[in-house]
Structure 1
Amino acid sequence: MPIKVDDVIQLLCHLSQEKGMKAAVKHSAQGALLAGATALLGGLVGGPPGIAVGGAFGGLLGAWMTAGQFRPVPQILLELPPAEKKKLYDEAMVILSHLDWTDITRLTLLVMRNASLQQNLEAWLISFLSEVLGAKIQYI
C-alpha cells in the first residue's frame, strides 16, 4: 500500500483519537428499528400517549442493545480492508489536496494547526463512517 495512503489513515486515526470518537458499526440500525417498532406498537395500543411511552421504552432498549459495542474510530480505520482504506484516502485528498506534505509528521502538524481543516475532515469522516460503514458515532 502506498505510503501516502497510510499517512492519511494515520492522520484520520490521530484526528479521531483527539476528538474522542467512537463508533458502533453493528447493531446501530437494529437499535433504531427497535425504537421505531415500539413507538408504533405503543401508538396502536395506547394512542398518542402510547407513542411517547413506546418510543421512550424502545429508545432505552435500543441504547441498551448497542451499549458496549462502540469501538474507538482509530481501531475501526486500521482494521479496514485495503480497498476501503484507498477509498478513504481518495475522498480525504479532496480536502487535503492543497497541503504540501512529505511525511505523516508534517501532514499531522499542518492539519492540527488548522481548526477549520480539522472540522472539515471530522465532518467528512463522520459522513463516511455513517454512509459507507453504517456506523453510529459517539464522543467520549
Structure 2
Amino acid sequence: MDKDVPIFHLFQTLENINDFELTILKCHLLVEEALTELLANKSESPKYILEARLTFANKLQISRALADTSCEPWVWAAISMLNKTRNRLAHNLTSSEVEADVAKFVLFIQNNQLMWPADILDVRNRDFFWAVFVVFKEIRSVVGVE
C-alpha cells in the first residue's frame, strides 16, 4: 500500500489490530507523523525538525503557527482532543474516561466535517477510524498529499 495516500497508510497501519487502546495509540502516532511531515515540509532545513526531540504538543503548536489558516480551526481542536485522549490512556488504568473522550472526539468531527458512512468499512471502531482519517487527511492536504 502507498504511504502517500492517506487512506492506504491508515489501513496499512491499523489492519489486524484488535485492541482499541492500541488503535488509539497508533492513530495518535499517525497524526504525529503527519504533523512532523507538515513541519518538515514548511521548513527551510527540515533535518533540524527531524532531529529535534519535540513533543506532540510542541509539534501541534508549531504546526499551527506555520499553517494556522491552511486548516479549518476545528482541525487544530480535534488534534488537541486526540492528544488529550492518548494522554489519558497513557496515565490511567481505567478506560471509561478514555471511551468518553473517544465518543466526544468522534462527535466533534461529525459536527464539523462530513464523514463517509462508517458502515462501508470492515474495520473495528469504524467511527473513530473515520474521525482520525478526516483529521489525518486534513493535515496531509496542507503538506500537499491528498
Structure 2-normalised TM-score? 0.28
Larger radius of gyration: 1
Structure 1-normalised TM-score? 0.29
**Structure that is richer in strand per residue:** 1
